[in-house]
Amino acid sequence: MSHSRAKHRVAIVAGCRTPFAKSGTSLSHKSAVDLACLAVVELINRSNLDCTNVSQMFFGQVVASPLAPNLAREVSLLPQFPRTIPAITVNAACASANQAIVLGHDQIVQGQADVVVAGGAESLSDIPILHSKRLSQMLVKMSRSKTALEKAKLISSFQPRDVLPITPTISEPSTGETMGEAAERMAKVNGISREDQDRFALRSHRLAAAAMRNGKFATDIAPLLEQGAQGPVVTDNGIRPDTSLEGLARLEPVFDKKHGTVTAGTSSPLTDGAGAVLLMSEEKAISLGYEPLAFVKSYSFVAIDPGDQSLMGPAFAIPQALERAGVAWSEIGLVEMHEAFAAQVLSNINAIESKQWAQDNLGAAERIGEVDWENLNPMGGSIALGHPFGATGARMTLMLATEMKRRDVQFGLLTTCAQGGMGFAMILERS
């Protein structure tokens, strides 16, 4: 490992992800740790990695299991690795894997590590079920009570509703607004029509289906090769090649049944999956004989008031990342944007293309740029592929880097919104 003060350029050498499966379907019997291990074992094999080279691991996970709170460490304890690899799990909501990758990136830049495995995992089939605060308090008191009378008193105060399970929801603790409600509000404020949203969802499914058909995902996917009750899982199961505008139009709005436009069809589904990328310093990659997919040029994390348009993070993060990279919007040959909701994607695109928005929000004279639809999510996005919160960032990084190499694109951009009004953007470059 190099400890020199010189900054190191970080290469994305390889990556792997599990198939993405709608929660409660073909991967529901696997924990997030299992999924992460599956992706990493396959990554090791496909990249012919000598595991003793790995210096650190970072993983993202949003809904952690209380039984394995540090998922990354569970992965780094795979018998393939030396038992001495520090590993950290992070939570930055839907940008968790991005955060994990960025942490690995920073360690390499600073010369603190030269080979990092980074990614994320989520099992929304295997989430902790909470119970009421009253019950928690009662149980704690019970364990501390000394006399039978005290215990009896506590038991007598018990009410059946205390054991009703509470499923954690994906909402803003600060405002109580769910992500879907936020998207619904953004659709209204930004005038995103139901038809445009349906059209965008259709596009996501069609492009994803075409990419799958053309074998573009096969190189990224670590299949689950078990017979079990479900049989082997080889492909993503959220993609619907046969979906139609008519079909999408028939769906009821979910978050505002009366005046709303956001439906299940224009939202990313709850999904199980994991993904990981292999990061190396450029020098290390060369010395080990790897030909990197792409290099990290810059990145940016932003946060805005979640009380405003909380999913507008990308429009704020993109100009910052571009500026840090010294790259113009027009030079970006490929964009990978997280599709939490069609309404959120289209709101952000409106902002990117609006001079007024740039003036009002960035204090810039000009708009960020014009979106080239040919190069935006050309293989579909989270609406079709699914969205395992902790893993999506790894999936996007891998897909962008792989496609940049295929198309021989000089600069690529990935961007995502995250709960809490957060936004992330990253610029990758080729050679």
Partner 1 sequence: MTAITRRTIDDVDWLELDVPGRPVNVIDGSVRSELKELIEQSASDSGVKAIVLVSRKPDNFMAGADVEEFAKLKTRAEALTLVEDGQNLINRFETIGKPIVAAIHGACLGGGLEAALACTTRIGTDHKATRFQFPEVRIGILPAAGGCQRLPRLVGLRSALEMILTGRTHSSKRAAKIRLIDDLVHPAILESVALETARKLIDGWRPKRPRFRPEMVAIDKNQFARKAVLARARTKTLEKTAGNYPAPLAAIDAIGHGLQYGIEAGLAHEAAAFSELAINDGSKNLVRLFFDGTALKKAYGPSDGYPEPRKTSNVGVVGSGFMGSAIAGVVAARAVAEARLRDISVDRLVSGLDAARSIVDSRQEKGALSKHESRYRTFLVSGGVDWAGFGRADLVIEAATEDLETKRAIIPEIESNTKAECVIASNTSTLLIRDIADAATEPHRFLGMHFFSPVEKMNLVEVVPHENTERWVISAAAGFVRSLGKTAVVVADSPGFWVNRILAPYLREAWILLESGADPLELDKEMIEFGFPVGPVTLLDEVGLDVVLESSHALGEAYGERMSPRASLSRLVGDGRLGRKSGRGLFEYRKDKKKRIDKSSMELICDQDSPPPNRTSERLVYAMLNEAAAAFAEGVVGSARDGDMGAILGFGFPPFRGGPLRYIDRIGLSEVIKTLKELSEEFGQRFEPVTNLKQMAELDTKFHQQQL
> What residue ranges bind partner 1 (CB under 8 A)?
37, 41-42, 44-46, 48-50, 77-80, 225-227, 232, 234
- For the bound state, the minimum distance from the C-beta of residue 41 to partner 1, rounded and expressed in Å, comes to 5
134-142 long-range contacts (CB < 8 A, ≥24 apart) are 134/159, 134/162, 135/162, 135/163, 138/162
Q: List phi, psi (to 5°) of 14.
A: -165, 175
Residues in CB range of 178: below 8 A, 6 or more apart: 169, 170, 171, 172, 255
Q: Which is nearer to partner 1, 234 or 362 (CB)?
A: 234
Q: Which of 94, 105, 205, 338 is catalytic?
A: 94
**Residue number, 290 or 357, with CB nearest to partner 1:** 290
**Smallest gap, in angstroms, from Cβ of residue 78 to partner 1?**
6
105 given a catalytic annotation: no
Q: Are 72 and 394 in contact (CB under 8 A)?
A: no
The smaller minimum CB distance to partner 1, of residues 35 and 342, is found at: 35
- Report the first-to-last Cα separation within the chain, whole angstroms: 22
| Closest distance of CB 31 from partner 1, Å | 10
**Closer CB to partner 1, 81 or 299, in the complex:** 81
Q: Are 371 and 353 within 8 A, CB to CB?
A: yes
- Burial level of 3, CB count in 10 A (0-12/13-18/19+)? exposed
Residue 357: helix, strand or coil by DSSP?
Answer: helix
Q: Which is nearer to partner 1, 79 or 165 (CB)?
A: 79
Question: Rounded to the nearest whole angstrom, what is the least distance from the CB of residue 363 to partner 1 in the complex?
Answer: 50
Contacts made by residues 226-231, CB under 8 angstroms, sequence distance 24+: 228/29, 229/29, 230/26, 230/29, 231/26
- 105, 205, 338, 387: the active-site residue: 387
Q: In whole angstroms, what is the distance from residue 361 CA to residue 391 CA? A: 30
Choose, from 16, 37, 205, 417, the residue flagged as catalytic. 417
Nearer to partner 1, 51 or 303 (CB): 51
Q: 94 an active-site residue?
A: yes
**3-class DSSP state of 152:** helix
- Given the complex with partner 1, which of 183 and 212 has the nearer CB atom? 212
Which uninterrupted H or E stretch holds 358? helix 355-362
- Nearest approach in angstroms of CB 402 to partner 1 is 15
The sign one gets for the Cα dihedral 292, 293, 298, 303 is negative
Q: How far is the CB of 117 from partner 1 (least distance, A)?
A: 14
- Residues forming beta bridges with residue 115, ordered by sequence position: 280
The CA-based diameter of the chain, rounded to the nearest angstrom, is: 75
Least separation in angstroms between CB 407 and partner 1: 23
The string of DSSP codes covering 310-357 is TT-HHHHHHHHHHHHHT--GGGEEEEEE--SBHHHHHHHHHHHT-HHH
**Angstrom distance (rounded) from CA 396 to CA 127:** 23
Q: Which residues are catalytic?
A: 94, 387, 417
